[in-house]
Chain A
Amino acid sequence: MSDNLMSRRKFLAGTGLVLGAASVSGVALLKDADPAEAAGTAIPWAYPAEQPDPEAVARRAWEIYYKSGCAEAVWYSCVEALAAIPGANQADWASLPMNMFRFGGGGIAGWGTICGTLNGAAAFISMAVGQNLADDGVTKTWTHRNNLINGVFQYYSTTALPTNNTYKSSQGVLGALGPWTPAAPAAAPIANAPTSTANSPLCHSSLVQWTETTGNYDASPAQRDRCGKACFDVAFKTISMLNTYYELNSAPAVSFDPSVAACGSCHKDYTGAKMACGSCHDNTVTDGHMGGL
């Protein structure tokens, strides 16, 4: 598939595959139905039994980053992997247009909000994981999907990134894939780059922290290396988590930063969040901002 936006004809052709698959599954289709509303295309889509290799997907994330940015890198590398593996929704995965998540770079069109790697990962997870039954065996919840999204967000926030895994992969010592030379225009990963722990899922917060710590500047080769590796790391994590999830049907709850519970114990009327409060707010629980409590 080219890097350009998928043409209308190509998109419709892909949709035709989807509609065909839907017909096979016995779902009635409306004439001229909006493809997005066509029964059978609704997510979640099946995750293939033959699971994708996290390292192979992560390598593609690194390469796509240099063409289309971080959000697209994680989202499309995962989508592309499932599109290549036989499964109930292989055609659906294959129907998705490249560059759909290109908007997510720089925290969505440069707004510095959510890190694009997480945007892409969350979108992909939500396409692959639907509702699960609660403990009562009746109620449907989004617990598993949310736990998986929580897991990748917390991984990004609390891990010293970028890991050296992209470089290790290029040297052929991460998994069993052997050495790898990234396809142009992707650069060769820098060996053992300095790291920072973001304590935040936000693009601006995490990247400023990394550039300030390392002395590198935005849009520099080193910064591109850092964000490309973040794509590698997050794609690797996302696929690893999903592989485990579909193997064990288990998505363990994630522990959040202690400030989330501590601050939330008083700020009950505030809009909730799972980010570490200290990533934006200077207050601490003991600093007296609560009237000396």
Chain B
Amino acid sequence: MRKTHIVLLVIVAVAVVSAIGAAGAYGDLASDANAPATTTDAATTPYWDDAIITITATDDEGIAYIYHELDEGIAHLTTVEGSPTSFSIEAPLAFHSTDHKNPGAGTHTLKYWAQDINGNVEAQQTVTFEVLKDTAKPTTSAWSVAVVKGRVATLKFKVSDPEPTKGTATVMVKIKDRAGKVVKTMSAGTKTVNVPLTKKFRCGLAKGTYRYYVYATDASGNAQSKVGSARLTVK
């Protein structure tokens, strides 16, 4: 075969391949009228402190953009590279950033939708979610008890934590003598709030009158605003 024939064949082959490729692209562009479908994993129960919601868009031709809009603000645009048929983002994202944005406490509205590679735009979808944030400090209260030296003492107390609360608190008990000196410190562990509680310990303290103080830090990290205390009598 002559050299010119080979060159001609190559040119024809390239032209045919290009035409097929172009026709394919145009075919999709012309005929694809299907908008992407987007879903979220937003929980119906409240989130604590922050919410990270996964938005997943799918499309038979490929995803180009995913949009989301928090509380009627400016829509956030995520440009999807590579035209995948499914793509996820974690929302909400900060303005013009890929960093997560904490939506803060309250009830929020998240709109989300996607656009495929052929320009089909999905109708905006909406989901509401709630974020709870516990900023209220718990208080503690205690009741007077008496114990025979060497026996098991049962300290009685309560941790009060207003709603919204995660329901538990880490409790510490300190016993002070009449001079105010701490003579014993005990961890009561993690306790349920807003119910009567006890802490037992074998009392090796000398006979006399003491006061025990109850300290609590709720599960959100709020330390008590009022330290409850009561008399401990060792007989």
Please give the residue numbers on chain A whose beta carbons come within 8 Å of chain B beta carbons, in ascending order. Answer: 160, 163-165, 167-168, 171-174, 192, 194-197, 209, 212-215, 278
- A192 to B118: give the CA distance in the assembly, Å: 6
- Chain B hits for A212, CB < 8 A: 74
Q: Which 4 A-B pairs have the closest CB atoms?
A: A164-B119, A173-B30, A160-B121, A212-B74
Is B81 an interface residue when CB atoms closer than 8 A count as contact? no
Nearest CB to that of B115 among chain A residues?
A: A195
B119:A167 contact, CB within 8 angstroms: yes
Nearest CB to that of A165 among chain B residues?
A: B119
In the assembled complex, the CB of B140 is this many whole angstroms from the nearest CB of chain A, namely: 36
The secondary-structure label for the interface of chain B is mixed
- Given A194-B65, A194-B115, A171 and B121 touching (CB < 8 A)? no
14 additional contacts (CB under 8 A) given A164-B120, A173-B29? A160-B121, A164-B119, A165-B119, A168-B30, A168-B119, A192-B117, A194-B77, A194-B79, A195-B65, A195-B115, A195-B121, A212-B74, A213-B74, A213-B75
A213:B124 contact, CB within 8 angstroms: no
**Partner pick for B115 among A165, A171, A174, A192, CB 8 A cutoff:** A192
- A209 to B76: give the CA distance in the assembly, Å: 11
B119:A214 contact, CB within 8 angstroms: no
In the assembled complex, the CB of A226 is this many whole angstroms from the nearest CB of chain B, namely: 13
Nearest CB to that of A174 among chain B residues?
A: B30
- Given A194-B77, A213-B74, A214-B77, A163 and B26 touching (CB < 8 A)? no
B26:A171 contact, CB within 8 angstroms: yes
**Partner pick for A171 among B29, B65, B117, B120, CB 8 A cutoff:** B29
A215:B72 contact, CB within 8 angstroms: no
- Chain B hits for A165, CB < 8 A: 119
Please give the residue numbers on chain B whose beta carbons come within 8 Å of chain A beta carbons, in ascending order. Answer: 26, 29-30, 64-65, 67, 72, 74-77, 79, 96, 115, 117-121, 124
- Chain B hits for A192, CB < 8 A: 64, 115, 117-119
- A212 to B75: give the CA distance in the assembly, Å: 8
Nearest CB to that of B123 among chain A residues?
A: A160
In the assembled complex, the CB of B55 is this many whole angstroms from the nearest CB of chain A, namely: 16
- Chain B hits for A173, CB < 8 A: 26, 29-30
- A160 to B75: give the CA distance in the assembly, Å: 12
A215:B26 contact, CB within 8 angstroms: no
- Chain A hits for B67, CB < 8 A: 213
- Chain B hits for A194, CB < 8 A: 65, 77, 79, 115
B119:A278 contact, CB within 8 angstroms: no
Nearest CB to that of A284 among chain B residues?
A: B72
B74:A172 contact, CB within 8 angstroms: no
- Chain B hits for A174, CB < 8 A: 30
**Partner pick for A215 among B77, B119, B121, CB 8 A cutoff:** B77
**Partner pick for A172 among B26, B75, B96, B115, CB 8 A cutoff:** B26
- Chain A hits for B65, CB < 8 A: 194-195
A213:B77 contact, CB within 8 angstroms: yes
- A192 to B67: give the CA distance in the assembly, Å: 14
In the assembled complex, the CB of B69 is this many whole angstroms from the nearest CB of chain A, namely: 9
In the assembled complex, the CB of B9 is this many whole angstroms from the nearest CB of chain A, namely: 28
**Partner pick for B118 among A164, A213, A214, A278, CB 8 A cutoff:** A164
Query: Which of A192, A196, A209, A215 has the most chain B CB within a 10 Å cutoff?
Result: A192
- A195 to B123: give the CA distance in the assembly, Å: 12
Nearest CB to that of B26 among chain A residues?
A: A173
Nearest CB to that of B35 among chain A residues?
A: A160
- A167 to B29: give the CA distance in the assembly, Å: 10
In the assembled complex, the CB of B75 is this many whole angstroms from the nearest CB of chain A, namely: 4
- Chain A hits for B115, CB < 8 A: 160, 192, 194-195
- Chain B hits for A213, CB < 8 A: 67, 74-77
- A174 to B74: give the CA distance in the assembly, Å: 31
- A90 to B26: give the CA distance in the assembly, Å: 37
A196:B75 contact, CB within 8 angstroms: yes
- A189 to B121: give the CA distance in the assembly, Å: 18
- A172 to B26: give the CA distance in the assembly, Å: 8
Nearest CB to that of A164 among chain B residues?
A: B119
- Chain B hits for A164, CB < 8 A: 118-120
- A57 to B120: give the CA distance in the assembly, Å: 22
Nearest CB to that of A209 among chain B residues?
A: B74
- Chain A hits for B118, CB < 8 A: 164, 192
**Partner pick for A197 among B30, B117, B124, CB 8 A cutoff:** B124
